[in-house]
Structure 1
Amino acid sequence: MKKASVRKSGKSKSSIGEYAWLKHYPPGIEWRTEFKSEPLANILERSAEKFSDRVCTYFFGKTISYSEIGRLANRAAKGLQALGVGKGTRVGLLLPNCPAFVVYYFGILKTGATVVNCNPLYTVEELDHQIKDSETEFLVTLDLAALFEKADALLERGNLKTVVICPFADMLPPLKSILFRLLKSKLLADTENSGKPDRIVFERSVLDNDGAYARPEITPETDIAVLQYTGGTTGTPKGAMLTHANLTINIQQVDAWATNLDKEGEIILGVLPLFHIFAMTTVLNFGVARGFKMVLVPKFDIDDVLKLIGKTRPTIFPGVPTIYNAILHHPKAKSIDLSSLKFCISGGAALPAEVKRGFEALSGCSLVEGYGLSETSPVATCNPVEGALGEGSIGIPLPATIISIRSAEKPEEEMPLGENGEICIAGPQVMPGYWKNPAETKDAFTGKFFRTGDIGYMDEEGYIYIVDRIKDMINASGFKIYPRRIEEAIYEYEAVEEVTVIGVADEYRGEAPAAYIKLREGHSATAEDIRSFLEQKISKIEMPRDIEFRDELPKTMIGKLSKKELREERETD
């Protein structure tokens, strides 16, 4: 697997000489590794052949083997090709964690098309923007009302050619499937009353074939496997173009790092949503590449997850700090046996030291913090799984990855060890750029280094520490929330004259939005009025936790609304 590199990080002309992290790089891991890329769908083909009888997915008690997932993906590929999907076509996945996500993710990739991950929690407005920007033509979703109604609304807007509907109940064990249809039929959509019935295709017709799909020619270094939408540092949604090379190499980088895992028998707990880049790599791609069993959880519920841990005995548990914190403080946590856990990696947000120590004491498993972004596939750094850890650090660079701390004002200049600057990343997992956005792509790079927009420093041992995130961005359970978007939605309310949104500390999510509003003279409104208005404008996670009305909002000397004073006020409360 390790031959000529697709993209080499090269030798940095660093003023600090030899890379600091090489002084104490984990034993058995070679930083100067050259990885070989390949089409991403190859990882499923290998596992379906090599681990044919192993369980690939576990979903509400129903298991599907690797060979069966492989066959379904082949049939999905042929069925999609019959609908007109081909190389370069963008196909959206509007799905929670479920076997259909795995089948269609790889089915799309097999056709040479590009996966466009869509957040099921997004409003129709948010989804419509992403569909139009990405030029997505096909969408795969479930027959659940909460999802189908959004897909149907998108069809009505005329930007999609076809929606493929997968039956949720078919993914359940036989008895649960029957009971679901009988007792929870209200959750199912009335698909026959679609406004565009001629554009709806049901899964049974898509999969009704022999699976002998036409194999496209894929160039891993340049062909786009996934369009992963991110607000980046500006808050404007952009599609990070992730090539087959980016993603297959990041799998190998994570694999090299996970030194304490066995070649077989590992079980991954898939609590994080697969449409999010962190889970897409550390649960789906990594799990399938290694032939591990994936326990898929469509919606996080702390009680259900604790029961599932006790029942399925997972060994790998990628998560975000809020999830580990919720388990740590659950009243029944001490009665749940967490001893099966071997590899827990936290990402998406800063991991508080008390949460790390507490979870490790509770589980007996080392909880390591990693770091990355959608633009880096995503994993770029991580603390060693075994041996020395950097307390409060996001770790050291993965193999073939270079981290450079650059001057925020002059990004071409590298900062000395110990001094703050912008964290910049170079490596084979870094995207080539943003979809249809050359200006943003140019601004995002300084030479070969991707500018993360996060401020941090590197110590003498090569460990990186984040000092501050983008000034205005709100980080809620690993999801990036941008105040400007919330502000623009609130401004649409007739009674609002001015609004400022900031991030405030939140015990569960880490951060949450808080809105400060000045009403127009002679108008009135309550916090509930504002929330009701916003329900169709923004997603639930973007909904302000606090809404406060004020006679005046702080401004700068030139009259620009200022967030600084509100932040300081919150910090002194």
Structure 2
Amino acid sequence: MQYAGEKFYPEDVRWDEPIEVGLVPALLEESARKFGDRAAIEFRDRQISYRELNAKVAQAAAAYLRDGLARDTTIGLFLGNTPDHPINFFGALKAGARIVHLSPLDGEITLKHKLTDSGARLVVTSNLSSIFPRALEFLEAGIIDRIIVCEDEAWGEAKNKLASYDKRPAIVTYAEFIAEAQLPVIWPAVELDDVALLQYTGGTTGLPKGAMLTHRNLTAAVSIREVWTRSFRAKRNVAERVICALPLFHIYALTLILMKRLRYGDLISLHQRFDLEEIMRDIEVKRATVFPGVPTMWIAIISLPDLDRRDLSSLAYCGSGGAPLPVEVAAIFERKTGLRLRSGWGMTETASPGTTHPSNGPDRPGSIGLMLPGIEIDIVAHDDPHRVLSIGEVGELRIRGPNVTRGYWNRDEGRSEWFIGDRFLTGDIGYMDADGWFYLVDRKKDLIISGGFNVYPQLIEQAIYTHPDVKEVLVIGIPDEYRGEAAKAYITLRPDAARFSIDDLRAFLTGKIGKHELPAALEFIDELPRTNVGKLSRQALRDQLSSRSA
């Protein structure tokens, strides 16, 4: 295949280059051999070397094996951004298990579904008061059997509020769990196509689906980016200081920050959350050189009143992902700082990589970029995914590559909805121009991407339906200056019910769904639109609103 966009690639990169794959734990093992005492992670001003990190991973893996972990067991990671995440992520995979990420942002419905659908009976979590009580609820409800508690204070003093709990056989601290674990003579055999990660993603027709990402998929995602950045890294020839303020349970941070940067031998400056002044301190004082973020972070930075007086000169690369980057945000950032903000497109199902913009090459505002080496994207007709469209025609993006998921966990019966052979139907609508640049124009699904997080309208609707005054509800995405998109609820009330405010609704929903899922706007409507068979229709609602504003 000839790809027109290859002429815009870095000079030493070809589209059809072979992509190296391997086992996820081997990635860290190799880096530990190569980089030894070089710092791998910095957290609360404490640095962990590559050698130390690899030893901690081996210790975790040995503890899982001693605990009787069977190959193909699913382990839930319910952790924020601390070194406990990579230690247990790599450690569980080294022991032959698979991981399911549990987001602290998820509501109860989603967390319960991820646990029951994945089959995870063991959860590794933190003693933070914002996380531990939720894990405890699942233990007491019999949804899981055991909890391993990583103690946040083990990494140094922090401002986080800690939970207290009573010791019992089903709850063990991480320090107790790894105590006296002996490294095995031979580690369990793990195969390239073993599922390493169940990363849940979703749509609007039900609960999120677990994308099965294998060792091959995850390491291919890293290698694809490694090929793309080869000349850039060779010219710099330094160990980068990389800011990680994105949650490690998100695929973007997992593969394109944690795994990729450990592969390169860089230092990951790990932040538990996006604190703007802490990030600026990392840049101005600690001289961070790479900052991958999401649009909301860049909007916060360009909104700094004194940005023109801040020193961002250490930054060699700024990237944006997780959600569409508004063209004006990139333009303002470049105008105010002189730095180029690069973006791309990818999905949970592609382990993140899909398209990107050249770091120092040409740019096409509004485009999602060029397809990366080893990845093949074409555009197919909405009504016939077997029919490939011509240049400039709008249709659905279809993708294949070594990084693309092999399917969804427990969803074999629906494979034909998402795959044509080995090509994945993304649900994103767009086109490719004559030079090989891709553009998105819409999304096929009703999924809302808010601040880089997937928000599922049906889950919000289900929670709103528990309100005693609500008769019917539809939730759709609306433009949001800060988050890119936000959820808006359109509600029909029961007879004689009184209207309530958006603040009242958010208070009612708190705890039922995640904070990022709380609606940003509310409108009461006499009658919600329906399809010709009587079903409530989000698309008809959007059409109705569009004609109203025309």
So what's the TM-score if we normalise by structure 1?
Answer: 0.91
RMSD between aligned alpha carbons?
Answer: 1.9
1:306-357 deviations in Å (ceiling 9; x for gaps): 2222232221211111111110111232232111111222112111111112
- The answer to whether residue 189 in structure 2 is matched with residue 217 in structure 1 is yes
Q: Distance in 1 between matches of 2:19 and 2:479?
A: 41
Q: Secondary structure in 2 aligned to 1:42?
A: helix
Q: Distance in 1 between matches of 2:284 and 2:543?
A: 42
Q: Do the aligned partners of residues 470 and 235 (structure 1) sit closer, same or farther apart at CA in structure 2, a change above 3 Å counting?
A: farther
Structure 2 equivalent of residue 497 of structure 1: 471
Structure 1 equivalent of residue 80 of structure 2: 96
- The answer to whether residue 364 in structure 2 is matched with residue 387 in structure 1 is no
- The answer to whether residue 185 in structure 2 is matched with residue 245 in structure 1 is no
Deviation at 1:572, TM superposition (A): 2.8
- The answer to whether residue 133 in structure 2 is matched with residue 149 in structure 1 is yes
Q: Letter of the aligned partner of 2:146 in structure 1?
A: T
What is the correspondence of 1:157-306 to structure 2 with a 5 Å cutoff? 157-172=141-156, 177=157, 180=158, 187-192=161-166, 197-209=168-180, 212-213=183-184, 214-220=186-192, 222-232=193-203, 234=205, 236-258=207-229, 259-261=231-233, 262-306=236-280
Q: Letter of the aligned partner of 1:199 in structure 2?
A: A
Structure 1 equivalent of residue 459 of structure 2: 485
What is the correspondence of 1:23-42 to structure 2 with a 5 Å cutoff? 23-42=7-26
- The answer to whether residue 406 in structure 2 is matched with residue 432 in structure 1 is yes
Structure 2 equivalent of residue 4 of structure 1: none
- The answer to whether residue 344 in structure 2 is matched with residue 370 in structure 1 is yes
Q: Secondary structure in 2 aligned to 1:98?
A: coil
What is the correspondence of 1:40-59 to structure 2 with a 5 Å cutoff? 40-59=24-43
- Which blocks of at least 5 consecutive residues in structure 1 are unaligned? 1-10, 12-17
What is the correspondence of 1:62-73 to structure 2 with a 5 Å cutoff? 62-73=46-57
Q: Letter of the aligned partner of 1:287 in structure 2?
A: R
Q: Secondary structure in 1 aligned to 2:446?
A: coil
Q: Distance in 2 between matches of 1:210 and 1:517?
A: 56
Q: Secondary structure in 2 aligned to 1:70?
A: helix
> Contact 1:92–1:139 at 8 Å: present in 2 too?
yes
Structure 2 equivalent of residue 122 of structure 1: 106
Q: Distance in 2 between matches of 1:44 and 1:121?
A: 28
- Which blocks of at least 5 consecutive residues in structure 2 are unaligned? none
> Contact 2:203–2:446 at 8 Å: present in 1 too?
no
Q: Letter of the aligned partner of 1:250 in structure 2?
A: A
Deviation at 1:362, TM superposition (A): 3.3
Q: Secondary structure in 1 aligned to 2:293?
A: coil
Q: Do the aligned partners of residues 38 and 565 (structure 1) sit closer, same or farther apart at CA in structure 2, a change above 3 Å counting?
A: closer
Structure 2 equivalent of residue 75 of structure 1: 59
Q: Distance in 2 between matches of 1:206 and 1:269?
A: 30
Deviation at 1:486, TM superposition (A): 1.1
Structure 2 equivalent of residue 551 of structure 1: 526
Q: Do the aligned partners of residues 491 and 391 (structure 1) sit closer, same or farther apart at CA in structure 2, a change above 3 Å counting?
A: same
1:464-492 deviations in Å (ceiling 9; x for gaps): 00011235221111212121221121112
Structure 2 equivalent of residue 132 of structure 1: 116
> Contact 1:264–1:291 at 8 Å: present in 2 too?
no
Aligned residue pair count: 543
1:15-45 deviations in Å (ceiling 9; x for gaps): xxx3332344331112111123211101111
Deviation at 1:402, TM superposition (A): 0.5
1:349-370 deviations in Å (ceiling 9; x for gaps): 1111111122223343322111
Q: Distance in 1 between matches of 2:204 and 2:467?
A: 27
Identity of aligned residues (%): 40
Structure 2 equivalent of residue 402 of structure 1: 376
Q: Distance in 1 between matches of 2:203 and 2:399?
A: 14
- The answer to whether residue 536 in structure 2 is matched with residue 561 in structure 1 is yes
So what's the TM-score if we normalise by structure 2?
Answer: 0.94
Q: Letter of the aligned partner of 1:87 in structure 2?
A: R
Q: Secondary structure in 2 aligned to 1:379?
A: coil
Q: Letter of the aligned partner of 1:531 in structure 2?
A: R
Q: Distance in 2 between matches of 1:260 and 1:514?
A: 42
Q: Do the aligned partners of residues 325 and 276 (structure 1) sit closer, same or farther apart at CA in structure 2, a change above 3 Å counting?
A: same
> Contact 2:346–2:353 at 8 Å: present in 1 too?
yes
Q: Distance in 1 between matches of 2:65 and 2:29?
A: 18
Which of residues 518, 525, 528 is equivalent to 2:492? 518
Q: Do the aligned partners of residues 297 and 91 (structure 1) sit closer, same or farther apart at CA in structure 2, a change above 3 Å counting?
A: same
1:102-138 deviations in Å (ceiling 9; x for gaps): 1111111110111111111112332111000000121
Deviation at 1:559, TM superposition (A): 4.1
Q: Letter of the aligned partner of 1:433 in structure 2?
A: G
Q: Do the aligned partners of residues 374 and 497 (structure 1) sit closer, same or farther apart at CA in structure 2, a change above 3 Å counting?
A: same
Which of residues 282, 304, 317 is equivalent to 1:308? 282
Q: Secondary structure in 2 aligned to 1:139?
A: strand
Q: Do the aligned partners of residues 263 and 229 (structure 1) sit closer, same or farther apart at CA in structure 2, a change above 3 Å counting?
A: farther
> Contact 2:283–2:289 at 8 Å: present in 1 too?
no
Q: Distance in 1 between matches of 2:45 and 2:508?
A: 40
Deviation at 1:403, TM superposition (A): 0.6
Q: Secondary structure in 2 aligned to 1:198?
A: coil
Q: Secondary structure in 1 aligned to 2:37?
A: coil
